[in-house]
Amino acid sequence: MLRLLIDQDLNQVILRGLLLRVPNLDVMTTHQISLSDASDLDLLAFAAEQTRIVVTHDRRTMPNHAATRIAGGESVAGVIIVSRRLPVSQVINDLEIIVSCSDMDDGRMSLNICRSNERVAADTEQGLQNAISTAEDVTDKTKSQSYEGSQNKSDR
């Protein structure tokens, strides 16, 4: 499971909802660690040291600062930019999937495609290819079932 650092600008309703869904979430807020007034670069440096993904609404400056760190050869554990235009419930759902289906191993994020009770590893190129094939199979089956259902209705 991912470890998160919640930026001071993130809607706290999102954090509360996420904690209700994922009670064992390893999360810190900038307020808890006295970094509410820290610059983006300082926040990214702290998150990298702690191997935490920054979750923020700041799409104006955070991506550029993350890119600056990377271009300078410094690490970035990760950044999730959350649009303010999305419904809070959708953001909570998406974040729940992201944190539940991802891991940080040795500072490297691996994504697992979660489907029902099955997890398909996707942290290698082959794993990604398998995940894409699985997703295409599921889509094809869904389309086929939908088509068969519409055929049955038209037979009546």
Question: d(Cα 86, Cα 101) in Å, to the nearest integer?
Answer: 21
pLDDT at site 33 = 95
pLDDT at site 1 = 82
pLDDT at site 103 = 75
pLDDT at site 110 = 56
pLDDT at site 119 = 37
Q: Is 0.85 topped by the overall pTM?
A: no
Question: d(Cα 111, Cα 2) in Å, to the nearest integer?
Answer: 10
pLDDT digit string, tens, across residues 56-68: 999 999 999 999 9
pLDDT at site 121 = 37
CB 77 within 8 A of CB 51: yes
- Give Cβ neighbours of residue 26 (< 8 Å, ≥ 6 apart): 1, 2, 3, 4
The residues of the chain scoring below 70 in pLDDT are 105-156
